[in-house]
């Protein structure tokens, strides 16, 4: 806390934090990613304030610049022209004012008549040992898109509605029929819910009621990071529930991220059942925005609370996922990598059509690769098949993606994925004429997109630098690999 208290002026606190984070030398960090957005050093968690503004992509994120562990939250800030190459700007928000004494928690960004405006939660600790705190909603504006001034009207929403518990955070704001709307995550009687607010000019808000709430089933005690938007003819409510209990293969992360699909009219949202968005070990707090191409793009935190983070000993922790375009088909959200990511491809390695029994070492090696593989299921006769990635020559390390023909599921197994991590995650997969696998391996992460994003699994792994092999393997039978391709990928971030 000393860095928050020593300097009272917000601009000075921002400068001190920005200067500090760029003094850390991470040149020898072995787990640093090659093409994912990370903080220059220190801790990173939730993406915040995703926006396409003045023909640039802006991403803000929860950031503790002074240590690779969670601490008083600042807002880091990066921009891109193409969703591939990112430039770090000065830290946008630092805590320590009367409205955010203990942290500038998550929120969103809007374009208010050409002014880049942030809405965020102020976190204020009363007694840490007794978990006593209060939260409010605040605003900051920037005339140049770089330096932000907090509003003199803060907090713009001083407290939660009467009867609600003290969890009250993560405002997501949008414009609807000429008015501003906001959803905020909340808790009532130990049940998660999302509250709806309305405003004419962002500094004064009226409470419109509960947009959606826990239905008494296994849906968690707190709904963090809500995001609400139209997609096609329906509306989608994304959220990250805390406290969902594991059920079979589902809900094995410390907290979950998923969505409801439904109909929205006159501040009422009639929603269906909760569905997971990503089945991997490390995906949380996803947020979305609409860009200049009218795409709905999602980015999540590529880590998870209570997960091992071996990179902390290198002076950093946390990364964001690759940007993903959201498409709604028959009530199901597909996530597919944005098309701009083809710019990462440095060298193409073709994988010929072949029938494989037992195993086949793929002719591609590296820590940063993309694979686009198609398996012909009509000509595959096996109990199962899969890919081994980030593989050591002696077999001591490997990350396994296994498709089970009997259960029609896919399992991402990181039991031998390197330092610290373990565990399996299993998801359903469509089993028709073929399965199409697109995956990105980036030193200490793997993102798997099946059947154009119908099923997605995202996990962190921490293999040795020498674990660079890849293999297609088959269990009791043979598998038909259609003509496929691999790519060695560039390093574009540090």
Residue 267 shares a structural domain with residue 357: no
Residue 326, beta-bridge partner list: 335
Tell whether pTM > 0.85.
yes
Residue 151 shares a structural domain with residue 6: yes
In a domain, 86, yes or no: yes
In a domain, 380, yes or no: yes
In a domain, 18, yes or no: yes
In a domain, 494, yes or no: no
**Which residues have a Cβ under 8 Å from the Cβ of 94 and sit 6 or more positions away?**
4, 10, 13, 14, 17, 74, 104
Residue 355 shares a structural domain with residue 335: no
Closest CA to 80 of 119, 115, 50, 42: 50
- Token reading at 343: 């710019």
Q: Are 55 and 292 in contact (CB under 8 A)?
A: yes
Report DSSP letters for 398-422, one per residue: EEEEEEETTTTEEEEEEEESBSS--
In a domain, 493, yes or no: no
pLDDT of 215 reads: 86
Unique residue bearing structure tokens 């860095």: 3
180 Cα distance to chain centroid: 25
Give the active site residue among 12, 19, 25, 46: 46
CA distances from 121 to 16, 93, 140 (A): 22, 11, 11
**Distance in angstroms (rounded) separating the CA atoms of residues 229 and 224:** 16
Residue 258 shares a structural domain with residue 369: no
- Token reading at 325: 């375009």
Helices (H), 90-183: none
In a domain, 29, yes or no: yes
- Token reading at 85: 């190459």
CA distances from 220 to 196, 243, 341 (A): 19, 4, 35
Residue 210 shares a structural domain with residue 255: yes
**Distance in angstroms (rounded) separating the CA atoms of residues 220 and 400:** 30
Residue 438, beta-bridge partner list: 372, 449
CA distances from 59 to 38, 54, 75, 229, 283 (A): 11, 13, 10, 18, 17
**Distance in angstroms (rounded) separating the CA atoms of residues 58 and 473:** 41
Last residue of a domain, one of 297, 321, 340: 340
In a domain, 158, yes or no: yes
What CATH number does residue 471 fall under?
Answer: 2.60.120.560
**Distance in angstroms (rounded) separating the CA atoms of residues 445 and 458:** 8
Closest CA to 263 of 254, 271, 252: 271
- Token reading at 153: 């009207």
Q: Could you give the dihedral angle defined by the CA atoms of residues 374, 380, 383 and 388, in that order, rounded to the nearest 10 degrees?
A: -30
In a domain, 310, yes or no: yes
Closest CA to 102 of 69, 135, 65, 61: 135
Residue 357 shares a structural domain with residue 328: no
**Distance in angstroms (rounded) separating the CA atoms of residues 96 and 429:** 47
Residue 294 shares a structural domain with residue 371: no
Residue 41 shares a structural domain with residue 118: yes
25 counts as catalytic: no
pLDDT values of the chain reduced to their tens digit, one per residue, 494 residues:
445 455 579 999 999 999 999 999 999 999 999 999 999 999 999 999 999 999 999 999 999 999 999 999 999 999 999 999 999 999 999 999 999 999 999 999 999 999 999 999 999 999 999 989 999 999 999 999 999 999 999 999 999 999 888 999 999 999 999 999 999 999 998 899 999 999 999 999 999 999 999 987 889 999 999 999 999 999 999 999 999 999 999 999 999 999 999 999 999 999 999 999 999 999 999 999 999 999 999 999 999 999 999 999 999 999 999 999 999 999 999 999 999 999 999 999 999 999 999 999 999 999 999 999 999 999 999 999 999 999 999 999 999 999 999 999 999 999 999 999 999 999 999 999 999 999 999 999 999 999 999 999 999 999 999 999 999 999 999 999 999 999 999 999 97
Angle at 110 between CA 493 and CA 120, to 5 degrees: 80
Number of domains in the chain: 2
Q: Could you list the residue range(s) of the whole structural domain that residue 47 is in?
A: 2-340
Angle at 245 between CA 298 and CA 72, to 5 degrees: 55
């Amino acid at each position: 806390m000393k860095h928050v208290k020593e300097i009272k002026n917000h601009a000075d606190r921002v400068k001190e934090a920005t200067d500090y984070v760029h003094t850390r030398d991470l040149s020898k960090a072995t787990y640093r990613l090659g093409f994912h957005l990370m903080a220059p050093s220190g801790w990173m968690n939730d993406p915040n304030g995703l926006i396409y503004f003045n023909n640039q992509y802006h991403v803000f994120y929860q950031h503790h610049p002074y240590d690779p562990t969670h601490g008083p939250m600042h807002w880091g800030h990066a921009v891109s022209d193409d969703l591939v190459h990112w430039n770090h700007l000065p830290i946008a928000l630092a805590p320590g004012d009367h409205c955010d004494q203990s942290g500038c928690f998550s929120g969103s960004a809007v374009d208010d008549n050409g002014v880049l405006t942030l809405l965020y939660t102020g976190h204020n600790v009363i007694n840490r040992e007794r978990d006593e705190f209060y939260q409010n909603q605040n605003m900051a504006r920037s005339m140049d898109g770089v330096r932000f001034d907090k509003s003199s009207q803060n907090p713009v929403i001083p407290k939660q509605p009467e009867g609600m518990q003290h969890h009250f955070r993560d405002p997501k704001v949008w414009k609807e029929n000429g008015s501003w709307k906001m959803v905020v995550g909340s808790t009532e009687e130990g049940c998660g819910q999302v509250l709806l607010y309305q405003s004419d000019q962002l500094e004064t808000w009226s409470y419109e009621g509960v947009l959606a709430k826990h239905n008494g089933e296994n849906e968690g005690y707190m709904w963090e990071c809500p995001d609400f938007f139209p997609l096609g003819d329906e509306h989608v409510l994304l959220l990250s529930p805390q406290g969902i209990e594991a059920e079979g293969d589902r809900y094995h992360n410390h907290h979950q991220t998923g969505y409801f699909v439904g109909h929205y009219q006159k501040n009422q949202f009639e929603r269906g059942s909760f569905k997971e968005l990503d089945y991997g070990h490390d995906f949380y707090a996803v947020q979305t925005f609409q860009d200049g191409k009218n795409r709905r793009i999602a980015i999540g935190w590529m880590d998870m609370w209570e997960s091992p983070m071996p990179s902390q000993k290198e002076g950093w922790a946390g990364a964001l996922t690759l940007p993903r375009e959201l498409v709604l088909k028959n009530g199901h959200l597909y996530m597919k990598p944005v098309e701009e990511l083809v710019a990462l491809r440095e060298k193409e390695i073709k994988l010929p059509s072949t029938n494989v029994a037992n195993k086949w070492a793929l002719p591609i090696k590296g820590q940063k690769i993309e694979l686009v593989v198609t398996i012909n299921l009509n000509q595959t006769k096996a109990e199962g098949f899969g890919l081994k990635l980030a593989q050591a020559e002696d077999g001591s390390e490997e990350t396994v993606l296994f498709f089970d023909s009997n259960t029609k599921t896919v399992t991402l197994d990181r039991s031998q994925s390197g330092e610290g991590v373990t565990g399996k995650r299993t998801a359903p997969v469509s089993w028709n004429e073929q399965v199409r696998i697109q995956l990105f391996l980036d030193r200490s992460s793997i993102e798997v997109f099946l059947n154009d994003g119908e099923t997605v699994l995202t996990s962190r792994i921490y293999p040795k630098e020498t674990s660079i092999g890849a293999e297609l393997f088959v269990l009791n039978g043979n598998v038909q690999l259609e003509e496929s391709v691999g790519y060695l990928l560039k390093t574009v971030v540090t």
